[in-house]
């Protein structure tokens, strides 16, 4: 039994307990993780209960159109796309061709290829292209690529959403390193600049939730576009 007063060692066990209750066995998602491991992709997809949370948020707002920045093997993308109606759409941005290839096979395996589009290339280029083609506003944006670009991803997300849209951003705590104002780490600088943009933004309501579990100690930002 994990110690009650030592949260750390219990995190993974409690996550496993939670996912046992609310996620259960999922052959498709198991295969996604297996394929990612086999292709030696970094194990940085969201935890199962976070995937379920993304799905729940998307369903809560009846999302029909979702943008994801950072595809990897398609794990979070499958959770998001499963929230869509059959004529809904997930556009997911990935610069790494190998990651995109693994993800493409996984979206097919999940029976979601008809509603998922992977756009290959640097996300900043794909975001500019989406704005250029005047893509209809997305109902939900999930930001989960490189952290140095977070401020830019937020600015593009504002251009590509409407009042009522949600923007969810992964990895905003980074083991507590977000507190280090003197850091020279561009990822942490990116998170801090992102937080400064969010804080007191006239068009945005945000809170951040710290997360623990198999993915360590981190957090997500949940932002509502209001005006
Ligand atoms: N959302 C995924 C995990 C994404 S990991 C999940 O939870 O399942 C981050 C991904 O972003 C990696 O695949 C990486 O190749 C990609 N990435 C990093 N920087 C990028 C950039 N500038 N443009 C597009 N993709 C990028
Ligand atoms: C990293 C990126 C992620 O999106 C994540 O969830 C964990 C780690 C990384 O780049 O190290
Ligand atoms: Mg992440």
Strand-pair category, 89-94 with 65-69: parallel
Tell me the pairing of strands 218-225 and 89-94: unpaired
Distance CA 218, CA 215 (A): 8
| Residue 89 beta carbon below 6 angstroms from any ligand 1 atom | no
Does 68 contact ligand 2 (Cβ within 6 A)? no
Q: Could you tell me if the CB of 170 is within 6 A of ligand 2? A: yes
Q: What is the mean pLDDT of each run of 10 residues along the chain (227 residues)?
A: 56 95 95 98 98 98 98 98 98 98 98 98 98 97 98 98 98 98 98 97 98 96 96
Q: How far is the CA of 170 from the centre of ligand 3 (A)?
A: 5
pLDDT at 7: 55
Burial 157-184 (b: 16+ CB within 10 A, else e): bbebbeeebbbbbbbbbbeeebeeeeee
Which residues place a Cβ less than 5 A from the ion ligand 3?
Answer: 144, 170-171
CA 95 – ligand 2 centroid, Å: 15
Are residues 124 and 157 in contact, defined by beta-carbon separation less than 8 angstroms?
A: no
| Pocket lining: 144 vs ligand 1, CB cutoff 6 Å | yes
Closest listed ligand to the CA of 141:
1
User: Measured between alpha carbons, how far is 185 from 167 in angstroms, rounded to an integer?
Assistant: 24
pLDDT at 227 (0 to 100): 85
Q: Tell whether ligand 1 has an atom less than 6 A from the beta carbon of residue 145.
A: yes
Percent of the chain past pLDDT 90, that is, above it, reads: 95
Query: Of the bound ligands, which one is closest to the alpha carbon of residue 51?
Result: 1
**CA of residue 95 to ligand 1 center, whole Å:** 7
Q: Which pLDDT value is given to residue 2?
A: 44
Q: Outline where the chain has alpha helix (H).
A: 7-22, 27-38, 48-60, 75-81, 97-109, 123-132, 150-159, 186-198
Cα separation, 80 vs 89, in Å, equals 10
Largest CA distance in the chain: 55
User: How many whole angstroms from 144 Cα to the centroid of ligand 1?
Assistant: 6
Give the ligand whose atoms come closest to the C-alpha of residue 214.
2
Instruction: Using most ligand atoms within 8 A of CB, pick from 171, 194, 210, 217 the residue to mutate for ligand 2.
Output: 171
Q: Is 90 in the pocket of ligand 1 (CB under 6 A)?
A: no
């Amino acid at each position: 039994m994990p110690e009650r007063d030592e949260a750390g060692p219990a995190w993974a066990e409690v996550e496993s307990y939670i996912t046992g209750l609310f996620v259960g066995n999922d052959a498709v998602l198991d295969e996604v993780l297996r394929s990612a491991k086999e292709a030696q992709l970094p194990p940085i997809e969201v935890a199962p209960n976070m995937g379920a949370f993304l799905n729940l948020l998307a369903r809560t707002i009846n999302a029909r159109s979702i943008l994801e920045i950072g595809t990897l093997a398609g794990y979070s993308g499958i959770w998001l796309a499963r929230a869509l109606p059959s004529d809904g759409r997930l556009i997911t941005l990935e610069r790494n061709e190998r990651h995109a290839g693994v993800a493409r096979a996984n979206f097919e395996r999940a029976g979601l290829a008809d509603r998922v589009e992977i756009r290959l290339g640097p996300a900043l280029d794909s975001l500019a292209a989406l704005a250029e083609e005047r893509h209809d506003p997305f109902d939900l944006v999930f930001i989960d690529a490189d952290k140095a670009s977070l401020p830019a991803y937020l600015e593009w997300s504002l251009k590509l959403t409407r009042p009522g849209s949600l923007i969810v951003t992964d990895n905003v705590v980074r083991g507590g390193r977000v507190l280090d104002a003197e850091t020279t780490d561009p990822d942490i600088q990116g998170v801090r600049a992102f937080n400064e943009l969010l804080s007191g933004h006239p068009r945005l309501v945000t809170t951040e939730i710290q997360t623990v579990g198999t993915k360590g100690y981190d957090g997500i930002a949940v932002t509502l576009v209001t005006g």
